[in-house]
Amino acid sequence: MIPSKGNKREEMQPCNCVPLSGIFFIGIFNRAGFWSAMASNLTNQSRNVLSKKLMVNTEESMDNITLFSIITVMSFLISAPLTLLVEGVKFTPTYLQSSGLNVNEVCIRSLLAALCYHAYQQVAYMILQKVSPVTHSVGNCVKRVVVIVSSVIFFRTPVSPINALGTAIALAGVFLYSRARRLKSKTI
């Protein structure tokens, strides 16, 4: 959230982000999906806020690449044992072949997906270093809407009125946020 200094426009700015959550509430049809999306949002935004606090411009602070590297290693160390505990060793070549999968194709696609995701996260941290966590979250919402709309167009998925309404609410929230930011910059 943006700290308030008594300016009513600044006080209202976080409220403009409320419609952004509408896409998740309207677009998800079961409680487990809704709460999973909310947990994902909470953890991602908390990570952004904490990361931003660690990226202050002092000599002792970490740059975005170092911070991202540390978070990635810590995530691996936490996730790897949990994955092995829950999934077991199902990712062996023998298991993949018995499932009818081409092991080389799975490895190449997994490597490509990992490289793309790493590049995406690196760019996200570079952007986070330059903008506030709220602006970063709004940009992330726009990215999600673009991905959803692109997928609908590319895969020719029929869209229900409730899904269209959720997307419209998210876009309205982004519009209201950008308007509030513009008005704030004019008053300063």
- Is the pLDDT at 12 greater than 60? The verdict is no
Question: Which comes out higher in pLDDT, residue 44 or 20?
Answer: 44
**Statement: residue 25 has pLDDT above 90:** no
Which pLDDT belongs to residue 54? 80
Instruction: List Cα–Cα distances, 147 to 18, 23, 143, in angstroms.
Output: 21, 13, 6
| Domain assignments of the chain as residue spans, ordered by start | 8-187
pLDDT at 80 over 80: yes
CA quadruple 52, 148, 150, 119: dihedral positive or negative?
Answer: positive
Q: What is the CA radius of gyration of the chain?
A: 20
Give the pLDDT confidence score for residue 57 in this predicted structure.
67
pLDDT at site 28: 47
- Whether residue 21 has pLDDT greater than 80: no
pLDDT at position 29: 55
The rounded distance, in Å, linking the Cα atoms of 28 and 23 is 8
DSSP 3-state of 131: coil
The residue behind tokens 């760019």 is: 123
Q: H-type helices in 16-102, by residue range?
A: 22-27, 31-54, 64-87, 93-98
More confident residue, 139 or 12: 139
Cβ(145)–Cβ(167) below 8 Å = yes
> For the segment 97-109, what is each residue's pLDDT rounded down to a tens digit?
888 889 899 999 9
3-class DSSP state of 116: helix
3-state secondary structure of 92: coil
Average pLDDT over residues 115-139: 86
Q: By three-state DSSP, how is residue 57 classified?
A: coil
CA 153 centroid distance within chain:
22
CA distance 39 to 15: 20
CA triplet 173, 175, 177: central angle to 5 degrees? 70
